[in-house]
Amino acid sequence: MELSQVIKEIRLVPEYRLPEIHDFIRSLGPNTEPTQDDTARIVANIMEFAGCWQDLTDEEFADFSQEITERRAQTFSSRIGEEIRYIRCLSMS
C-alpha cells in the first residue's frame, strides 16, 4: 500500500474523527507512552459501555454468557485441531 492511498482515505474521514486517527498513528510510533489525555480518552471509550447490559433479564444474561462460553470453547477446540493437523503434516515431511 502506498502513502498516497492512505492519505486519500484519511481525507474521507469526517473531521470529528481525526483526533482518533491522530492518536492511533501516534500509538504506532516507537517508544510511545500513553499520555494522561490518552488514558482519559481510553477510559471514556470504555465507560460508554458501562451499564449497556442493565436492561437484560437474568435469564437473557445467563443465555448470553452461555453462548459466549460455547463459542469460545468451539473456537479454541477447532484451533487446537488445526494446529495438531499442521504439526502432523510437518512431521510426515
Interval 48-64: pLDDT, tens = 777 777 788 889 988 98
Q: What is the pTM (predicted TM-score) of this model? A: 0.36
Grid cell in block for residue 75: 473456537
Flag whether pLDDT at 15 surpasses 80.
yes
pLDDT confidence band for 32 (50 / 70 / 90): low
pLDDT confidence band for 93 (50 / 70 / 90): low
Q: DSSP characters for the chain?
A: --HHHHHHHHHTS-GGGHHHHHHHHHHTSTT----HHHHHHHHHHHHTTTTTTTTS-HHHHHHHHHHHHHHHHHHHHHHHHHHHHHHHHHHH-
- Give me the residue spans of the domains in the chain: 1-50, 54-93
Flag whether pLDDT at 74 surpasses 70.
yes
Mean pLDDT, rounded, for 73-93: 72
